[in-house]
Structures are given as C-alpha cells and as structure tokens.
Amino acid sequence: MEIQKLSLEHFDRALSPTIAVLIPCFNEAATIATVVRDFKEALPDARIYVHDNNSTDGTSEIAAKAGAIVRHEGNQGKGNVVRRMFADIEADLYIMVDGDGTYDAQSATRILEMLRTGPFDMVNAARAHTESGAYRPAHVFGNRMLTGTVGMLFGKQTNDMLSGYKGFSRRFVKTFPALSRNFEIETELMIHALDLRLPIAEIEAPYGARPDGSESKLSTFRDGFRILRLIGWFLRNEKPLAFFSAVAAAFCLLSIGIATPVIIEFFETGLVPRLPTAVLAASIMLLSALSLFTGFILDTVTHGRREAKRLAYLKEPPPPENRRI
C-alpha cells in the first residue's frame, strides 16, 4: 500500500510539478512589485517567494502587496539568502532570479521546459543585452575573465557564469552545500555542478538596464576579488592534487635556483663554503616534497567527499517529465 501511494504521488508530481520562483532581495523597492507581477503572469501556477535581506526601503511590504510570499533572512549577503531559500522552500522545480527588474520573466517558461524534458539539473540564462547601458564594460570584461578561468579549471559549459537567472531541479537544490556568503554564490553554483558533472544547459535571455531609482549593489573590483578568492578556495579543496602540485613545482624551482651556484661550486672545488644557502635549498626542496604528498592525501579525501555528495544527489528523485509547461 505504501509503495502504491508513493508511486501515485510521483505520478501526480510528474503531471503537475510544483514550481517555486526564488527572489533574493535587498533594497529593491523600485522594482520588486514589477518583478513579482511579471513572474505571476508568466508562471501562473508558480509560488513566488521573496526573501528580504534586511531591506530598509519597504521592499518586503511592497512584495507582499504584489502577491509574493515574503520571508526574511537576517544574515547579510546574497549567498546567505540563497542558502536559506534552498533549505526552507519545497518544490519540484526552482527558478532563481534577482529582484532588480533586469531579467525577462517570459524566459522562465523555456528554462522550466528544459529542466523537465532534458532532464537538466541546472539551466543558466546567459544575458543578451537589450540596452547599451545594461551592462558596464568593466563587468563584461570581469565576467568573461572569471567565466573563462572557471571553464579552464573545471570545464566550460557556460558563457555567463555570473548570471543571476537560473533554473534548478529539486535534487540540485537539496544537495547543494551553499557555503558562500555574498555575490560569489553564482560561482559556487556553477563549480558545484561542474565538479559533480551534473547535466547543465544554457539559454540566452534578454537583459535590460535597471529602471530609474534602482541602484546596483555590485562592485566590480570587490566582488571580482571575492570570486577569484572563491575560485582559489575551490581549486584547493576540489582539485587538491593540481593545487598542491603547482605549489610543489614552485618550491622545487625555487630550491633548484638557490642550489645551482652551490652545486656548481662544489663540483669545481669539492667544498660547500655557503652552507646556509645549501641548507635553505634543501629545506625548500623538502617543502616541495611535503606539498606534493599533501596533494596526494587530500586528493583521496576529496574523492571520498565527491562520492558522498553524489550519493546524496542520487537519493533525490529526478526532475518531473512528460508534461509541457
């Protein structure tokens, strides 16, 4: 009887999957009502959630009047908001979008279609600029550089890693660790998917400028530095053999550079007059060997962690299929 009940429940969810639109917000009073109404129109069966992150301009009240389910997250930062949303909100399919009014709500139907029929665990909406002022040149350059860096290190499956418009399956959301605190959350989402080799797709979606009265919270250099730091952190933790091998190679080259004159002098005279230099070179070479073996050990640990994350992912059901949104 229990098995039959579960089968019927899965069948019902496949025919009519529940959809949640997640909108993290901080001081978006100028745009949030329009964003909520646009997504209610585009996805009439979806539940619209606005998570307010200590706004001081009445964002939560405006969102509630527009028809959104409003919740609050006290820990400042977009990463903290996403962490709370992923933990608390139950659905089969998820759309995450910024509350600044720059993304096209109608593109959500294409994202959901790909999530179901792919099936994909993440669909990224790459930004297609519809207005010249929508995306500052420094942000374009920074996005290309960071996206290219992640593609080189973890695999290239996106042209716009930092887009705030994405769709997710339930199995992705409920097995994503969400360690980031701020705007580097988009980088963590992409690296998590690439590291576990999850099925990813990408579409192009119109991207417009912020309306008058709405100010961006992004900082090109501050947020870029945070993302680079996060990439380094992930490289150390998810690819420790490559990271520590590079450190070992650097130490090895430094040691050889320091030791070369000492070795040449030894072969010419049979003496080692610069003993401190020889000791320093030998010590650095030991650090090189230690770094290499650290990489081997941590690579084994990381392999076990990756297996555990994969098993947790497989415990969740796949995206509902066989129904057109």
Q: Which residue has the higher pLDDT, 94 or 305?
A: 94
Dihedral angle sign, alpha carbons of residues 42, 162, 174, 73: negative
Average pLDDT score over residue span 120-128: 91
Average pLDDT score over residue span 2-16: 51
pLDDT for the residue numbered 176: 93
Strand order in the sheet with 166-169: 69-72, 47-52, 19-25, 93-96, 166-169, 122-129, 200-207
User: Phi/psi at 223 (nearest 5 deg)?
Assistant: -70, -35
Which pair of structure tokens corresponds to residue 94? 């998820």
Nearest to 196 by CA among 307, 315, 93: 307
Q: Which residue has the higher pLDDT, 152 or 47?
A: 47
Q: Which residue has the higher pLDDT, 325 or 217?
A: 217
Q: Which residue has the higher pLDDT, 167 or 179?
A: 167
pLDDT for the residue numbered 174: 94
- CA distances to 33, 55, 213 from 58, rounded to whole Å, are 11, 7, 14
Average pLDDT score over residue span 189-198: 90
Least confident of 41-50, 226-235, 268-277: 226-235
pLDDT for the residue numbered 6: 46
pLDDT, averaged across the chain: 85
Which pair of structure tokens corresponds to residue 10? 């899965």
- CA distances to 35, 38, 59, 70, 220 from 23, rounded to whole Å, are 9, 12, 12, 10, 22
Nearest to 20 by CA among 47, 58, 60, 50: 47
What confidence tier does 210 reach under pLDDT thresholds 50, 70, 90? low
Structural contact between residues 111 and 167, judged by C-beta atoms closer than 8 angstroms: yes
In degrees, to the nearest 5, what angle opens at C-alpha 121 toward C-alphas 180 and 42?
A: 95
Average pLDDT score over residue span 77-94: 94
Whether pTM exceeds 0.95: no
C-beta neighbour count of 33 within 10 angstroms:
20
For the cut 90, the answer to whether the pLDDT of residue 202 exceeds it is yes
- CA distances to 69, 70, 173, 190 from 65, rounded to whole Å, are 10, 10, 28, 34
Strands 200-207 and 69-72: unpaired
> How far apart (Å, rounded) are the C-alpha atoms in residues 222 and 225?
5
